[in-house]
A and B are shown apart, each in its own frame.
Chain A
Amino acid sequence: MTDNDFLKELHNPDVPVPEGMQSAVAVTNIGRLMDSIYNWGRRNSIWPMAFGLACCAIEMIATAASRYDQARFGMEVIRASPRQADLMIVSGTVTKKMVVPIVRLYNQMPEPKYVLAMGACACGGGPFKEGYNVVSGVDKFLPVDVYVPGCPPTPQALLHGFIALQKKIDAQSLGNYNSVPWYGRGPSDAIPVPVLGPDLYDPRQGHIMRRQHEAAQSAAQDKQADA
């Protein structure tokens, strides 16, 4: 994008600007100006968390290495601490045992934060979906911004995912409280951490469990009545 295009994009069509001035001046509202400055800064400095789960992590490291060089996207600063990270790349199979720390890590990340589900397993369980210890997609617990399919996705595919994330950030607006939670008045609610019981238990599903118990009880009563 040239500077010229950038100004044209910001321009408010209701305000006439003389022909010769259009490449030098943009008349716009403060919100749109702030959006583009904010988004420009953020899209080019997304710091991923150093967090590899499985096979996909190897391709993620290959993406960070010299041949594919994710530094071109301002993403080379890989932070070990979730407190300093903007992007969680869920690179691999999410197991029931691991989803507990994953949710905790996500809760520890400061807003604005993004989640990229890398690979078939993180997107929907992948080849291991039927396994008893596998969560069929990290989106069962976390809000996912970008899905990158593949097993594992090639580094090119992951870079495509990064570009998709940048586009998503470009479209976000400071004025939009509804679709962009971190522009609201306070921090968003933490996601309740799952519990490792006899099986993985999501505290948000308590009502389903109660319903199941009631159904089982009434079925047992029916059986008794029949007898």
Chain B
Amino acid sequence: MSEQAPVAETISPTEEALELLQKRFKKTVRRDDREGYGGIVVDASRLEKVAAAIHDDLGYDYLSSATAVDYLGQGDHVEMVYHAYRIAGGPALVFKAQTPRDEAVLPTLTGVWPGVDFQEREAWDLMGIRFDGHPNLKRILMWEGFHGHPLRKDWHEPFFEEELKPFGSRWPDGHVQRSEEHNPYGKNVQYPAEWSPEAYESPAEPAIYDNINLGVDVRTDLATDRVIVSLGPQHPSTHGVFRMVVRLDGETIEGLEPVMGYLHRNHEKIGERNTFIQNMPYTDRLDYICSLSNNLGYAISIEQLMALGARYEPPTYRAEVIRVLMAELTRIVNHVWAIGFLLNDLGAFFTPMMYAVIERELILDFFEATTGSRMMCNYMRFGGVAADIPARIRGVANLINDRVRDMNTMDYLHSLIHERLPRAIDQLDEYLTTSEIMTNRCMGVGVLTRDDAIAYSAAGPVLRASGVPYDVRRAEPYSIYPDLDFDVAVRYHGDVYDRYLVRLDELRQSIRILKQVLPLLNDTDGQPVFTGRGVYSPRVPAGESYGRVENPKGELGFYVVSEGKQNPRRYHVRAPSFINLTALEQMCKGHKVADVVAILGSIDIVLGETDR
């Protein structure tokens, strides 16, 4: 523990990279000189070699995010955008590769950063970029056989009304009609004109098993103990609607493939129709256990863009204090939840969960009093937060045992942070850490080595349990975290047990931060919490930004491209749950099938974010 990642360097990564790359690759590498953009543009033909140089020679060993943007009408190309970091900390090197829309092909980078695997599959699925040499290029969020690539700008969903919100039917006219009434099927569906269901065999299910089969015909040739098992999407241990297809030899795992998209709610397509501020409540529903940290990530990303413009004031100090207060309380909510569920997965059904959830309810009471909602808080704004914390916590529920219903908020927070929460964490520690269930089933299970964790772009507790002290709060600080005193929790075995311990450490560090935040909250009492103009659609200058925060589950990033209008051109979420799953097969190989459940529990995924 207590190894802090070094503070960010000051040399621009783009300049440094351009100098080296242009020497070697001449004109195939150039500066991205569009207004508001940064980074370098690489010729598609040299992408693989340049990427290898960025990884090996420049030392950008951690690929945080890879996503595609459709520039229809602005050059008619699709563009892959990569954000690479050094695991020692510091700003991103952004590099891009463009390919024509009609024939979108790029070389895969799975050989350089294996963590790009699922993100390239997502870009193929949603944006239709084919990756040459990708080992398993098939759809990931939609099903095989779905028509079209939905994030293309010219692809329209069945309930399509207009390109951009606010829709004319809602405002100013206000004559809303149910979308079902305009669809011949009364449902959210559309079919290609020539398609007929007769004699149609859906490729969706067989395609899942494409890459993970036994190599024998099971009907005639089953002289083997090897089987393929499909776990989920309805399974009590899959934390929602996650599915895994597992190839077993006896009980030992030979191969595993996550199957996702069962909760793909088209976050990004909807987000690109929405105005900037309309996306705030949608971010609540990404990682729905940590809505406030998601809000923070999105707010930071848009504030980065707004800072390019003239009339922007950064959030006040009090707003930042409240943001950190909320983010750290959210971390506690998430980690107690994750630990409770890990025990669920280990077979200690629901009792540890019950203990873990008690304190969560107390924090949720505070969230409800401040933001108006227990879970979907929709609280942060560009330039601050929506409202100050209330003077008193009151509630309408009048439960007999509920003594917290009318209290001074600061007293409430004080007793929560100084007494209730530390006690609850100690209690979890005391009951669980040395428990035989924990030690026997978790130690040495699901090991992810340090190098693998970095290569697979793992983030959050998964990365830090593998011995990498990488925390965005220290590696690229935001908000008031530079002023706060805390350690980056890190453990070195990379197994399930260490991931549990890292969460426990982080809980204690969050308490440490919260104890520093409380006096700041008192000192800043009465200051404004919002500096924006409170308009429905704030001005966001043209450009791109990638705002990232250390969410409880890992690094949450928002890549936003603005054209200076009311709506983003591209709105992409770098979801830690999604990318952490890339390493799942690596962690599970060689273990017993029962351990998969524990390993999945230790990654701590949430499906709203995985599938978006």
Binding site for B on A (CB under 8 A): 50-55, 57-59, 61-62, 64-67, 80, 82, 92-93, 95-98, 101, 105, 125, 127-136, 140, 151-152, 154, 156, 195-203, 205-206, 208-209, 211-213, 216
Contacts and interface: CB of A to CB of B under 8 A. Distances in A.
B202 A152 contact: no
Contacts of A54: 240-241, 263, 265, 285, 288, 607-608
Most buried by B among A65, A130, A212: A130
Contact of B197 (A96, A98, A130, A206): A206
Given A127-B281, A203-B197, A101 B265 contact: no
B198 to A, nearest CB: 8
B197 A197 contact: yes
Contacts of B197: 195, 197, 201, 203, 206, 209
Interface in B410-458: none
Contact of B196 (A55, A196, A209): A209
A10 to B, nearest CB: 33
Given A59-B375, A134-B188, A65 B282 contact: no
A66 B354 contact: yes
B357 to A, nearest CB: 5
B463 interface: no
Nearest to A125: B188
B538 interface: no
Contacts of B251: none
Nearest to B237: A80
Contacts of B191: 197-199, 201, 209
B358 A154 contact: no
Given A97-B142, A133-B142, A156-B397, A197 B607 contact: no
B537 interface: no
Most buried by B among A131, A203, A211: A131
Contacts of B288: 54-55, 58
B357 A136 contact: no
B185 A198 contact: no
23 contacts: A53-B240, A55-B608, A59-B374, A65-B357, A65-B361, A93-B263, A95-B262, A95-B265, A130-B270, A131-B265, A132-B157, A132-B266, A134-B265, A135-B188, A140-B187, A196-B205, A197-B200, A198-B145, A198-B192, A205-B185, A208-B185, A209-B197, A213-B196
A195 B281 CA distance: 32
Most buried by B among A54, A55, A80: A55
A131 B145 contact: no
A216 B194 CA distance: 10
A133 B375 contact: no
A128 B375 contact: no
Interface string B139-157: 0011101110010000001
B180 A212 contact: no
Contacts of A203: 197
Q: Which 9 A-B pairs have the closest CB atoms?
A: A131-B266, A55-B288, A198-B147, A132-B157, A196-B204, A128-B265, A98-B262, A80-B236, A65-B357
Given A196-B204, A198-B147, A209-B197, A131 B233 contact: no
Nearest to A52: B240
A87 B18 CA distance: 61
Most buried by A among B265, B273, B350, B358: B265
B145 A197 contact: yes
Contacts of B240: 52-54, 57
Given A196-B145, A213-B196, A67 B358 contact: yes
A125 B265 CA distance: 10
B158 interface: yes
Interface in B115-167: 141-143, 145-147, 150, 157-161
A205 B195 CA distance: 14
Given A128-B265, A199-B158, A98 B233 contact: yes
Interface in B179-225: 179-180, 184-193, 195-197, 200, 202, 204-205
B241 A98 contact: yes
Contacts of A105: 234
A152 B364 CA distance: 14
Contacts of A66: 354, 357-358
Given A52-B240, A105-B234, A133 B266 contact: yes
A132 B150 contact: yes
Given A132-B188, A201-B191, 9 more contacts: A54-B240, A64-B350, A65-B358, A66-B354, A131-B265, A133-B142, A136-B188, A156-B397, A199-B191
